[in-house]
Each structure stands twice: as C-alpha cells, then as structure tokens.
Chains A and B, each alone.
Chain A
Amino acid sequence: MTTSKSEQPAIEGWFEGSGGKAYLLGSRCKSCGAVSFPPETFYCKNPACSGSDFEHTPLSTRGKLWSFTNSCYKPPAPYVAGDPFVPYIVAAVELEKEKMVVLGQVVPGVAIEELRVGMEMSLVSAELFSDEDSSYTIWKWQPAGAVQEN
C-alpha cells in the first residue's frame, strides 16, 4: 500500500474521492440545467442557451457499460506507465441519469473476459501512478457486483 505517500488527484476539480469511493464533478448550467463533464467554466455548450454561470454537481456513480477495450502496449507520454508496463482496460460507461458516456480505466484485477456491454459499473478512486512522494489518484470503473479491494 501507499499509506506513507500523500494522495493527490491527478487532475484538480474533476472528481472527489478517497478511500476507494469516488464521484465525478460535473457542472450544471444555472440557466438551462445542462450537465457537462469535465466541468464547464466559461460558456454553456447548449447552443440554445447563453448561460455562463455554473454550479458543481456530483454525477451518478453508476452506469451501464457502453463498451470496453484494453491497451496491450505502453502508450506514449504524457501517460505515466509503470515499469514493467502493465496492460490496462478502458471502459466507456453511460451514466443513466445524465445520459452521457464517460471513459475511465477499469481497476486492476478485472479480466477483460469478465466484461459485457450493458453490465452495471460503479466508480471508485484509485492510483493512476506514483512518484517518490505522492500517489496520484484518478476515477476508475469497476463491475458494480465486485467487492472493492482495500
């Protein structure tokens, strides 16, 4: 475990999470109610709306698997790959309430054969990479039936 290292998000303001649990931080337009992720900060993307005021809104932490794949080869920078490189799965999950698809890695330990389009997935916070001092966290997907390892 990485308890001696300080945990920090790999990107600021996109998600909240600690101790495994996580939720994505979207924005909601105060004029039309449209939700965006990553959070909007300037202008509403709805072409029928001239809104520019947003509030942060936590997004659903569950959704249905839209599709999935993996990376068998090490991607180029700015991805920070472990040494040796460990292949990872990427899931596209459709949040039911928000009706939007969000990509994320799948937590390690899930085999690609376990996944099926349409299955229920849930969001967790997990390490993306670490350096000497810090563990950088990100949101990841896992099958909703699975028990979170700690």
Chain B
Amino acid sequence: MASEVAILGVGMHPWGKWGKSFVEYGVKAARQALADAGLELKDIQFISGGDTIRNGYPGFVAGATFAQALGWTGVRVASSYGACASGTQAINAARTQILAGLCDVALVVGADAAPKGFFAPVGGDRPDDPDWQRFRLVGATNPIYFGLYARRRMDVYGATESDFARVKVKNARHGLNNPNARYRKEVSEEEVLASPMVSDPLRLLEICATSDGGAALVLSSMDFARKHCSDPIKIAGISTITPNYPSTVIEMPNLSTDSAAVVDAPEVGFRDSIAAAAYEEAGMGPEDMSLAEVYDLSSALELDWYENIGLCAAGDAEKLLRDGDTAVGGRIPVNPSGGLSCFGEAIPAQAIAQVCELTWQLQSSATGRQVEGATAGVSANQGLFGHGSSVVVKR
C-alpha cells in the first residue's frame, strides 16, 4: 500500500524515576533506535519530537532539543503536543513527511521526566482554562474520570472489583520480564483489592503512576527500507482523529458533554472511532490483529478499550478477560508489555513506546512476553482535549 512506512529501528530508555533530564532519556532511546536501524545520525533527514509540558517552553521545544543533544546536523525538525497522544502526533508528522516525499528517513523521539503524585494542572489562577476549572470547581482529578468509567461498567455491565483487579494481575505478569518496565513484580488479586481506595471503585494498584522514560523510532519510506533491509515491519495506519459533534461521553478535562438535544449523537462514539480510523487506513480490522497495546490509565479502562478497538461487543470485555483471551497465550493478548500498569505514564513517550512494543512483538524479539506468531498489532490511546491516537503495525 502506498501509505505504508517502514519501522527501521526502535529504542527505549527504561521507565522509572531516575531524577535526570528528559533530554537524556530521549537521546538514549534515539541512539538505540539508530543503532537498531543500522543508521547514523547524518542519515536522518527529519526529527519529530513529542513535547513534555513540564519545562516551561513547550517541552523545551522537543524536536530541536533532541536534535541539539544528538548533535546539530542542520536537520529539519517538528514538535508535537497532544497530551497523552503526543507520541502518535509526532509519529504521524514523520510519516507525513515521508509519504509526501519530503524525506526518506525520520527519527521520532518522545521523553518525559515526571513529578510525583497526582497529575496537577499548571500553577496560577486561570479561570478560563478547563484544567483549572475541573480541579478548582469540582475537584475532578484524573482518577475521578477513571472512577466514573469504572463505576459505569459495574452498574451497566455487571463488572466487579475482582474483574478490575484481574486486569492488574494480568498486566503485572506480562511486565515481569520486560527490561524497560518500571514495575516488575507479580501481584495477586487479594493484594490489589487490599490496596487503598483512590477513587471508588479504583484502588492505588489499579491507577497508573507517572514515570520518567523515553522512546524513539526510525521510520523510512518503503523504497529506502527495501534497499536497506529485506523485510521491515511497517506502519499500516495511524489515527489522530478528534470527536464528532456532539460528543456525549464525559471526557477529561471537561465538566460537561456536548448536548445531543438539537443535533443527534453520532452513530459511532469518539472512542469507538479511534482505532477504527487506523484500521480503515490499514485496510484491516480487529480480526486481523494478533495483539493490542492499549492505554490502561486504570485497570477498568483497559476493559473499555477491548470494546472500543473492536475486540468484543460492548459489555463483553469482562468475559474476554475471564476467559484468558487477553493474556499472553490467549486469543488476542492485550498489553503484553505490561502496559501503563507496569510502566507508569511518561506522557510524550508512551504512544511511541506502544509502537516499540508492537514492533518487537512482530519481530519475535519480545523475550519473556512474546505473542507467538504475531503478524499485526494495534495501539490505542487518547489524549486530553479530544486527541484520538491509534497505530496499526504489521509484518
């Protein structure tokens, strides 16, 4: 397909709390991706950075910052911010350059150094900022939104706290042997259910932490890839969609939804349309996927994603989980990397890390967590302010 680009190299700086600059994590990931691709910095014609929000100037203007830290080569750069979807925005910016024929080889880098505790809004009195409004007026932290979705699953679909805990148990097991995961420790359902309640029904072990980390990809045109290596993994579809009006599910950071009184709600809601757009570009569907990496900001949210990316019908996610379908060894493993549950979130790096994992899986090099015979995979996530994000990767 004309819209495909090749993944020539992937790299990651392990997730954790390392107390260093995000630039260092990004550079380490970038150098690893270059080595993995068998290329040198001078071969890179475009650097696409995912921005962190934590450093005043948006992410110290990420693309250029990574370019300088790697060593100025006069390379063209871009910087993307889309909250949790920043990484996909950066991947898409690079892909667009390649598909437009403006460059052959691009480097995508995202990295973050995260503070402790709750995600907190930027300081100061800013009554016009939806992020200020939700914290100030309602105390609507991120876990509040996760708790609302989780409770709705319980009351509408009959999900139980045990179901949610089992997502955590599964992902903890997956991440045990992943050298880039921050948390590599098995947990039992009892331990999860004994951890302190944060936002009912979600407990401390079920809500993702914020982490330091960095991830990078070297992407190229298919022509360049064919000359360089025999059988590259390919990006077959990317979704960076936004909602259709009226968007009727409450989303961070909003205090309300759109009204569906005058204009009917769209047939397909926002979250159901995110991966669908990537599948459509790829000419594939959920039935073609061997695995998925989804954004488990909470244990319960992973179950929502099963339905949103088309692995099962609405209300059937708990059954999929209980049947072991989404564990490594099952029909359609979800988050074989261990997911955010084992990584914690390094915002601008996370969507790139999802694609790193899909690539390793399709190369059969995901030691200790390998999905046997994987031929295609999908990532999904969603960034604040209506950023859909999904990537379909195939052999």
**Cβ–Cβ < 8 Å partners of B123 in chain A:** 77
**Cβ–Cβ < 8 Å partners of A84 in chain B:** none
A125 within 8 A of B: no
Given contacts A78-B125, A98-B259, A112-B200, contact A103 B138 (CB under 8 A): yes
Given contacts A67-B151, A77-B120, A117-B152, contact A46 B245 (CB under 8 A): yes
Give Cα distance in the complex from A138 to B136, angstroms.
Answer: 10
CB distance from B117 to the nearest CB of A (A): 7
CB distance from A48 to the nearest CB of B (A): 7
Q: Which of the listed residues B138, B248, B255 has the most CB atoms from chain A within 10 Å of its own CB?
A: B138
**Cβ–Cβ < 8 Å partners of A11 in chain B:** 127, 133, 136-137
Q: Which of A73-121 contact B (CB under 8 A)?
A: 73, 75-81, 88, 90, 92, 97-105, 112, 116-118
A144 within 8 A of B: no
Is B144 touching A72 in the complex (CB atoms < 8 A)? no
B229 within 8 A of A: no
Can you list 15 A-B contacts with CB-CB less than 8 angstroms, sorted by A residue number? A11-B127, A38-B133, A45-B258, A66-B152, A67-B155, A70-B200, A76-B120, A77-B120, A90-B140, A104-B138, A112-B200, A118-B155, A128-B137, A138-B137, A138-B138
Q: Which of B104-112, B260-268, B345-353 contacts A (4 or more CB under 8 A)?
A: B260-268
**Cβ–Cβ < 8 Å partners of A35 in chain B:** 259, 261-262
Is A10 touching B150 in the complex (CB atoms < 8 A)? no
Is B255 touching A69 in the complex (CB atoms < 8 A)? no
CB distance from B39 to the nearest CB of A (A): 43
B196 within 8 A of A: yes
Is A36 touching B139 in the complex (CB atoms < 8 A)? no
**Cβ–Cβ < 8 Å partners of B49 in chain A:** none
CB closest chain-B residue, reference A65: B155
Is B197 touching A66 in the complex (CB atoms < 8 A)? no
B360 within 8 A of A: no
**Cβ–Cβ < 8 Å partners of B256 in chain A:** 37-38, 100-103
A34-B259, A46-B246 known, 7 other contacts, Cβ within 8 Å: A69-B144, A75-B141, A77-B120, A90-B140, A99-B248, A99-B261, A101-B250
B199 touches which of A38, A48, A71, A79 (Cβ 8 Å): A71
Give Cα distance in the complex from A67 to B249, angstroms.
Answer: 11
Given contacts A48-B263, A66-B152, A67-B155, contact A101 B135 (CB under 8 A): no
B213 within 8 A of A: no
Q: Which of A28-58 contact B (CB under 8 A)?
A: 32-38, 45-48
**Cβ–Cβ < 8 Å partners of A80 in chain B:** 136
Give Cα distance in the complex from A100 to B255, angstroms.
Answer: 11
Q: Which of B324-363 contact A (CB under 8 A)?
A: none
Nearest 3 A/B pairs, CB to CB: A69-B147, A117-B155, A76-B120
CB closest chain-B residue, reference A80: B136
B58 within 8 A of A: no
Give Cα distance in the complex from A112 to B198, angstroms.
Answer: 13
**Cβ–Cβ < 8 Å partners of B127 in chain A:** 11
Name the interface size band of chain B. 35 or more
B87 within 8 A of A: no
**Cβ–Cβ < 8 Å partners of B138 in chain A:** 90, 103-105, 138
CB closest chain-B residue, reference A99: B260
CB closest chain-A residue, reference B148: A67
Is B133 touching A79 in the complex (CB atoms < 8 A)? no
Is A34 touching B250 in the complex (CB atoms < 8 A)? no
Q: Which of the listed residues B196, B199, B260 has the most CB atoms from chain A within 10 Å of its own CB?
A: B199
**Cβ–Cβ < 8 Å partners of A81 in chain B:** 139
CB distance from A95 to the nearest CB of B (A): 8
**Cβ–Cβ < 8 Å partners of A118 in chain B:** 155
Give Cα distance in the complex from A92 to B265, angstroms.
Answer: 18
Q: Which of A117-140 contact B (CB under 8 A)?
A: 117-118, 128, 138
**Cβ–Cβ < 8 Å partners of B196 in chain A:** 72
A75 touches which of B135, B148, B155, B260 (Cβ 8 Å): B135
Give Cα distance in the complex from A78 to B132, angstroms.
Answer: 7
B149 within 8 A of A: yes
Q: Which of the listed residues A36, A67, A77, A112 has the most CB atoms from chain B within 10 Å of its own CB?
A: A67
Is B197 touching A103 in the complex (CB atoms < 8 A)? no
**Cβ–Cβ < 8 Å partners of B199 in chain A:** 69-72
**Cβ–Cβ < 8 Å partners of A117 in chain B:** 151-152, 155-156
CB distance from B291 to the nearest CB of A (A): 30
Is B155 touching A47 in the complex (CB atoms < 8 A)? no
Give Cα distance in the complex from A92 to B249, angstroms.
Answer: 10
B38 within 8 A of A: no
B143 within 8 A of A: yes
